[in-house]
Amino acid sequence: MEVQTLKYPAIQNYVAGQATATAGAATLDVFSPLDGALLSTVPVSDAGALDAAVAAAQAAFPAWSAVPIKERVQIFYRYKTLLERDVRALSDLVREENGKTYDEARAEVEKAIELTEFACSLPQLIGGEVLEVSKGVECRSERKPLGVVASIAPFNFPNMVPHWTIPNALVLGNCMVLKPSEQVPLSAVKIAELLKEAGLPDGVLNIVNGDREIVEAICDHPGIKAVSFVGSTKIAKVVYIRATGNLKRCVALGGAKNHLLVLPDANPDMTAANVAASMSGCAGQRCMAGSTMVGVGAIDHIVRKLVEEARKIVPGQNLGAVISRAAKARIEQHIDEAEAAGAKILLDGRHAVVPGHEDGYYVGPTVIDYVTPDMRIAREEVFGPVLAILRTTTLDEALALENASPYGNAAAVFTQSGSHARYVMDHASAGMIGINIGVPVPREPFSFGGWNESKFGACDITGKSSIEFWTQLKKTTTKWNPESRVNWMS
């Protein structure tokens, strides 16, 4: 049997500031979607490995939480400059392990920098309150960290999603166990190295690799106070129920089926370009991807332009790979089924091959018209560069389709009418709304998070809303009798 060599050293866990071997643990191979090359291996850790990471985080917590936030934040200012210094290498690594284009990988790392910058502003945002509530009696409330918290990440943003949680949770005084996706574990190693270089004390951030077993152990571990999860809805539900069942706070972000409503008065060029980019960016592997377009009335002229735009998106050039061979097969199966069910394929990305990268996992941009609501492709998350177009005659019918989806991450409308835009803002059942914007990701300090089955839990995962998630309020009531002062000078 041919033995393939690893391009990167075998990944280890990271506990108390040290790479830590997991004796006897099984490993999984990590492949590059770009060409199928073997990059590394990742350990499938067990609950014992988690115990060690939680113990390290617990040991670090008293000292870390006692550091004033104005000092904690200095480490993250330094960290931000290190991310900027290494932006090229970090982007290359994201590209290699995830398969996206360099520009997309770089945009992801730049977003990580913005998230770090927001965390640096937290001292300005978390000041407490104090009020004299009756003569001589004062109430004061201040934000305190929770203790040891956990963050579980998906494959589609190996660098950015860990930054949704690490900077805010740590600046606010918590210690963390991060569980990266086993499909893209390399970026997390670099994040830990750079944080150490920036001066983060050992044990404040720990990394435990693995899959289902370690996620379940995180939900069960009595030493972990809060669990943040990002991934598919199926697993988000399991994690939310299990973590909260163990009396932890939890925010669990799930999958999506984002509807882009296109009205006949929409600007054709802008709409076509936006919809094509929304459905195909990051090879459609974004929870913000516009995967369903609902055309209202006479929009054939926009569909024609959209297909022209989508044709310009070429696998291996401005379109990256999907994460795995299995993902490619699943996406192509969705297209096959839609075709068999009577939908019309306007642009077919099945069986895409990139010369020189024949073993890469590519799917070309695919546009499917006359999809009906009962078809699987209209209901399920495809997570590939595939757009399903449904047709309605009224805006209310289009909104009814959007509202009927169990998901609710994002929704967008393309129109030049302010009143129609406002109507969609008010009636779409999604947490993030775009008006003439296909990927309406809120920028900091606004928070990121969907509705319905796209997010379980009360808080959003980033921005101001996340402050509530990562902290608890301590309320102190004080009373001093002004008459009882001792005059020690006499």
Q: Indicate whether 152 belongs to the interface with ligand NAD (CB under 6 A).
A: yes
Q: Which residue is nearest to ligand NAD, using beta carbons?
A: 231
Alpha helices in 12-171 (DSSP H): 47-66, 69-85, 87-98, 102-120, 122-125, 160-171
User: Residue 176's beta-bridge partner residues?
Assistant: 149, 205
Which amino acid, 310?
A: A
Distance CA 352, CA 348 (A): 9
**Is 162 one of the binding residues for ligand NAD (CB under 6 A)?**
no
319 part of the interface to ligand NAD, by CB under 6 A:
no
**184/303 with CB nearer ligand NAD:** 184
Q: Quote the least distance from Cβ 271 to ligand NAD, whole Å.
A: 24
Q: What is the largest CA-CA distance in the chain?
A: 97
Q: Which two tokens stand for residue 458?
A: 């009360």
Binding residues with ligand NAD: total (CB under 6 A): 27
Q: Rule CB under 6 A: say whether 384 interacts with ligand NAD.
A: no
Q: Minimum distance between the CB of residue 135 and ligand NAD, rounded to whole angstroms?
A: 50
CA angle 432, 96, 25 (to 5 degrees): 95
Helix, strand, or coil (residue 411): strand
Q: Which is nearer to ligand NAD, 224 or 299 (CB)?
A: 224
Say which amino acid occupies 337: E
Tell whether residue 179 is a contact of ligand NAD (CB under 6 A): yes
Of 26-34, 49-57, 149-157, 411-419: span binding ligand NAD (CB under 6 A): 149-157
Binding of residue 454 to ligand NAD (CB under 6 A): yes
Q: Which of 219, 282, 287, 459 is catalytic?
A: 287
Cα-based distances in Å from 381 to 233, 255, 378: 10, 7, 8
User: Nearest-5° angle of CA 174, CA 179, CA 181?
Assistant: 145
Q: Is 154 in the site for ligand NAD (CB under 6 A)?
A: yes
To the query of whether residue 120 is one of the catalytic residues in this protein, the response is no
Q: Are 168 and 122 in contact (CB under 8 A)?
A: yes
112 belongs to the binding site for ligand NAD (CB under 6 A): no
Q: Does 240 bind ligand NAD (CB under 6 A)?
A: no
Instruction: Work out which of 153, 192, 266, 412 binds ligand NAD, going by CB under 6 A.
Output: 153
Q: Which is nearer to ligand NAD, 263 or 287 (CB)?
A: 287
> Is 253 one of the binding residues for ligand NAD (CB under 6 A)?
yes
* φ, ψ at 345 (rounded to 5°): -85, 110
| Whole-angstrom distance, CA of residue 292 vs CA of residue 304 | 16
Residue 283 interacts with ligand NAD (CB under 6 A): yes or no: no
Name residue 227's beta-bridge partners.
150, 250
Between β-strands 129-134 and 137-145, what pairing exists: parallel, antiparallel or unpaired?
Answer: antiparallel
Taking the least distance from each CB to ligand NAD, the nearer of 75 and 322 is 322
> Which residues here bind ligand NAD, judged by CB under 6 A?
152-156, 179, 181-182, 211-212, 215-216, 230-232, 235, 238, 253-256, 287, 381, 383, 409, 450, 454
Active site residues: 287
